Amino acid sequence: MTRSFPLALLALSLMAAAALAQPAAPAVYPGPGTLLRLSESAEVTRAPDEVRATLRFEARDATPAGAQAAVNRAMASALEAARGAAGVTASTGAYSTWRQEDPARWVAAQALNLRAGNQAALLELVGTLQSRGLALGGIAHGLSRDSARAARQDAAGLALEALRRRAEAVAAGIGMRVERIAEINLEAADLPSPRPAMVAMARTAPAPVAQAEDITVSASAQAVVVLAPN
């Protein structure tokens, strides 16, 4: 008796491999109609609702342990002060130690990151920390996660509405109507990095002065629209 199972399995394997090797077929939109491909974009402007600051403390000593101990004390004090500032979130950043020559000594440094929705509270804390020896690296404004999500949704809604109006205008211009939207893609651009604030140190006050700028959030929409005769 002839066994045909191995041959049948081999044939199925070859057919499957051939199917996988074929390029993906373009999208098919069944039914009559004219395809219109178009895209639109929109943007919204939002006032920043979050401010961030970066500070740094650096210590020098004859031994690495001495330099590190000074940094640890300064950071512990800074974190304690941040816990007492309403609405301010603090986290420590990079910590490094290296040997410096001429004169020979050890240097240790660590960064402190602050974030808050209340700019006044954060700036007051920054002024306090500066008086304790921390150096201000920068202040930047941005959008909180919830505000960024809402701004993206608003921008996407505007882009979709602009796309719908344009599709209807094109269809009317050629004596047709929009039958349906066969395909649509939405893309929200990445938010810009938090913008550095214009910072000035006031001689009569310990806290810096910062001025924020509005943030632009954009989105785009692409669609395949099926047009039909009136």
pTM score, two decimals? 0.68
Q: Characterise 168 by phi-psi region: left (phi > 0), alpha (psi -120 to 50), beta (else).
A: alpha
Model confidence over 122-180: pLDDT tens digits?
Answer: 999 999 999 999 999 999 999 999 999 999 999 999 999 999 999 999 999 999 999 99
User: HSE-up of 218 (CA within 13 Å, CB side)?
Assistant: 8
pLDDT greater than 70 at residue 19: no
**What pLDDT was estimated at residue 103?**
87
Nearest partner of 55 among 124, 136, 145, judged by Cα:
136
Based on the fold, state whether residues 55 and 133 are members of the same structural domain.
yes
What percentage of the chain exceeds 70 in pLDDT? 80
Q: Is the pLDDT of residue 85 over 90?
A: yes
- Which of 142, 166, 190 is where one domain is finished? 142
- The residue assigned the tokens 């920390």 is 129
Are 154 and 212 found together in one domain?
A: yes
Whether 40 is in a domain gets the answer: yes
Q: Provide the pLDDT confidence category of residue 190 given band limits of 50, 70 and 90.
A: confident
Q: Strand ranges (DSSP E) for the chain?
A: 34-46, 50-61, 88-100, 105-116, 135-142, 176-188, 195-196, 198-201, 208-211, 215-229
Q: How far apart are CA 70 and CA 47, in angstroms?
A: 39
Instruction: Calculate the dihedral angle through the C-alpha atoms of 125, 127, 132, 136, rounding to the nearest 10 degrees.
Output: 100
pLDDT at residue 61, rounded to an integer:
97
Domain boundary, last residue among 142, 161, 183:
142
CATH number at residue 79: 3.30.70.360
What CATH number is given to the structural domain containing 184? 3.30.110
Dist. CA 222–CA 39, nearest whole Å: 4
Whether residue 160 is found in the same domain as residue 224: yes
Residues 87 and 149 in one domain: no
Q: What pLDDT does 36 receive?
A: 95
- CB-based contacts of 50: which residues, under 8 Å, 6+ apart? 115, 116, 117, 141, 142, 143, 144, 147, 194
- Counting the structural domains of the chain, the total is 2
Answer yes or no: do 158 and 212 share one domain.
Answer: yes
* pLDDT tens by residue, 20-74: 555 555 565 666 789 999 999 999 999 999 999 999 999 999 999 999 999 999 9
206: phi > 0 → left, psi -120 to 50 → alpha, else beta; which?
alpha
Same domain, 56 and 107: yes
- Asked, for residue 11, whether it belongs to a domain, the answer is no
Same domain, 154 and 113: no
Could you tell me if residue 183 is inside a domain? yes
- Does 59 share its domain with 34? no
- Tens-digit pLDDT profile for residues 167-182: 999 999 999 999 999 9
Whether 156 and 134 map to the same domain: the answer is no
**205 and 97 co-located in one domain:** no
Residue 151 lies in domain: 30-47+145-229
Q: Which residue, 106, 127, 142, sits at the end of a domain?
A: 142
Are 80 and 93 members of one domain? yes
Q: Would the pLDDT of 204 be above 50?
A: no
